Amino acid sequence: MMGLAPNLHEDYAHTPKFYIDRLNEIIASGIPFDSLAFKDASGTSRPATVYETVKQARAILDSTFGKGTREIQFHTHDTAGGAIACNLAAIRGGADVIDLAMAPLSGGTCEADILAMFHVLDGDPDYTLDINPEKVLGVEKIFKKCMDKYFMPPESMQVSPEIIFSPMPGGALTANTQMMRDNNCLDKYDLAIEEMREVVARGGFGTSVTPVSQFYFQQAFRNAVMGKNADGSWKMDPKGYGKMVLGYFGKTPVEPDPVLVNWAREQLGMEPTTKSVVEINDANPELGIKFNTELLKKNGLEVTEENIFIAAACGEKGINFLKGDKPMGIRYKEAEKPAVKAGNKGVYTATVDGRAVAVEVAVDGKSYTAKVNGKSYNVAVAEGAAAPATKAAGASSGAASDLTSPLPGTVMKIVAAEGADVAAGETILVLEAMKMETEIKAEKAGRVAQILVAQGAVVAAGDVLAKIEEK
């Protein structure tokens, strides 16, 4: 579920009729189910829509399968401040289950608090509450102590009225702001959220849950950080939003803006489609069992149904995960840093662009790990400085131009080697930012004179990534 911005009232999309039509499609398909869940991850649905939708769903399920034989569950977040009101609406419409959370995680981008919901329902003659609030309070106090060592982003704890206009799910909001912290661009968050409003509206109002919510934010992030093309068009995300408006992830509730569809068609070199997602996926050999079985074998990994699924769904990242690259992503409160004693050769402070950067190098046999501001990287270490590359015979003596990063991110893959001849538009390396891969391409034909970054390096917008000599 998802609510549209206050000045946008569609006749069909994200109305009770829209949701009930989806329920009737599920029933008509013959898919067996015991329960039905309505999820509003962005917390933007209106209580009136929740009530009417659940009420109608309750009547349909009872008449089709027998009274009380199918459970209805409602889930929402308090990002926009409406969770308790929507929970009440769901209960009064006939929901059997609502999802709640405990402090210190409750509220904000999470669900409403158990005790807050109890307080609202307590004394209502229509409901019997078999809950001891003092015991819940005691459990929450213990939970707060358990969670005290973890870092909780301040934006995760607040109500954000902007989310009503730019529906960002709670989990996606905190994941994205954490990635922006990692890439030193959190200052762009407000602008990205502002851009998201237009991205959602012109993209067809797809429900803002994974993966569509990430498509929205990735495109909004591009608009906020990379700006627009000279003709005013957006730089379309080639793997998410751009493909979505072309129809490669199914039909959106409202037809996307045809201007966006044309931008995506021109930039991605793909035609719009009305084929089903199943048909599109079946035509992709890299999503098949055979291809991914061979991929697992090639990488020395066990062939199981689970591993095949991971490889097919996540590609190179899935393979790396199965090889043991499994970052936990757990954030702890920054402990007080002890003073570094002189002569401690494993800990260094480097100054980059006037900023102090803490670097700790650890050696385990022949394996080296560098921890930069708390984030670990595997590094290669060689004796002495690397000798400058010898210019190959026939190499151009033209001036080298800088290939810069259009956005902050992490170097995911280096495609072109130093000394290689490249054509205009050929990919030099791939950046990852906000779970989005961006190919960095040569603007003109030439020779790769230098690659100035390593795989895993974190770069800022405008950083020089490579130098290309024009031929």
Q: What is the pLDDT of residue 160?
A: 92
Q: Are 80 and 42 in contact (CB under 8 A)?
A: yes
- Residue type at position 284: N
* Sheet strands (E) in 274-426: 347-352, 355-364, 367-372, 375-379, 400-404, 409-414, 421-422
Choose from 167-171, 265-269, 397-401 the range with maximum mean pLDDT: 265-269
Helices (H), 286-395: 289-298, 305-322
Q: What is the pLDDT of residue 8?
A: 76
pLDDT confidence band for 388 (50 / 70 / 90): very low
Q: Are 108 and 161 in contact (CB under 8 A)?
A: no
End-to-end Cα spacing for the chain? 55
Q: Quote the distance between the C-alpha of residue 90 and its chain's center.
A: 28
Domains in the chain and their CATH numbers? 1-160 (3.20.20.70), 347-379 (no CATH), 400-470 (2.40.50.100)
The whole-model pTM stands at: 0.77
Per DSSP, the three-state class of 178 is helix
CA atoms of 183 and 421, how far apart (whole Å): 31
Q: At residue 353, does pLDDT exceed 70?
A: no
> For 156-189, how does the pLDDT look when each residue is reduced to its tens digit (9 = 90+)?
999 999 999 999 998 889 888 988 887 788 889 9
CA atoms of 444 and 441, how far apart (whole Å): 9
Q: Quote the distance between the C-alpha of residue 8 and its chain's center.
A: 25
pLDDT confidence band for 431 (50 / 70 / 90): confident
Neighbouring CB atoms inside 10 A of 190's CB total 11
Q: At residue 114, does pLDDT exceed 90?
A: yes
Rounded to an integer, the average pLDDT of 428-439 is 82
CA atoms of 469 and 471, how far apart (whole Å): 6
CA atoms of 248 and 252, how far apart (whole Å): 10
Pairing of strands 464-470, 421-422: unpaired
Q: What is the pLDDT of residue 28?
A: 97
pLDDT confidence band for 77 (50 / 70 / 90): very high
Neighbouring CB atoms inside 10 A of 75's CB total 21
CA atoms of 280 and 379, how far apart (whole Å): 40
- Find all residues with CB under 8 Å of 135, minimum gap 6, and list them: none
pLDDT confidence band for 196 (50 / 70 / 90): very high
Q: What is the pLDDT of residue 246?
A: 97
Q: What is the DSSP string of 106-117?
A: -STTSPPBHHHH
Q: What is the pLDDT of residue 168?
A: 92
Per DSSP, the three-state class of 141 is helix
Rounded to an integer, the average pLDDT of 121-146 is 94
CA atoms of 370 and 56, how far apart (whole Å): 58
pLDDT confidence band for 454 (50 / 70 / 90): confident
Rounded to an integer, the average pLDDT of 37-63 is 97
Rounded to an integer, the average pLDDT of 201-211 is 92
CA atoms of 267 and 359, how far apart (whole Å): 40
Task: Specify which residues 355 forms β-bridges with.
Answer: 352
Q: At residue 392, does pLDDT exceed 60?
A: no
> Of 34-48, 143-157, 287-301, 344-358, which range is least confident?
344-358
Q: At residue 444, does pLDDT exceed 80?
A: yes
Which conformational region is residue 325 in: left (phi greater than 0), alpha (psi within -120 to 50 degrees), or beta?
A: beta
Rounded to an integer, the average pLDDT of 58-70 is 97
Q: What is the DSSP string of 33-98?
A: -SEEEEEETT----HHHHHHHHHHHHHHHHHHH-TTSSEEEEEE--TTS-HHHHHHHHHHHT-SEE
Tokens of 434: 């906000």
Rounded to an integer, the average pLDDT of 13-20 is 96
- Percentage, residues of the chain above pLDDT 70: 86
- Percentage, residues of the chain above pLDDT 90: 60
Q: What is the pLDDT of residue 340?
A: 42
pLDDT confidence band for 266 (50 / 70 / 90): very high
pLDDT confidence band for 203 (50 / 70 / 90): very high
Q: What is the pLDDT of residue 325?
A: 78
> For 328-348, how does the pLDDT look when each residue is reduced to its tens digit (9 = 90+)?
778 888 754 444 444 334 555
Q: What is the pLDDT of residue 396?
A: 46
Rounded to an integer, the average pLDDT of 189-197 is 94
Q: At residue 112, does pLDDT exceed 50?
A: yes
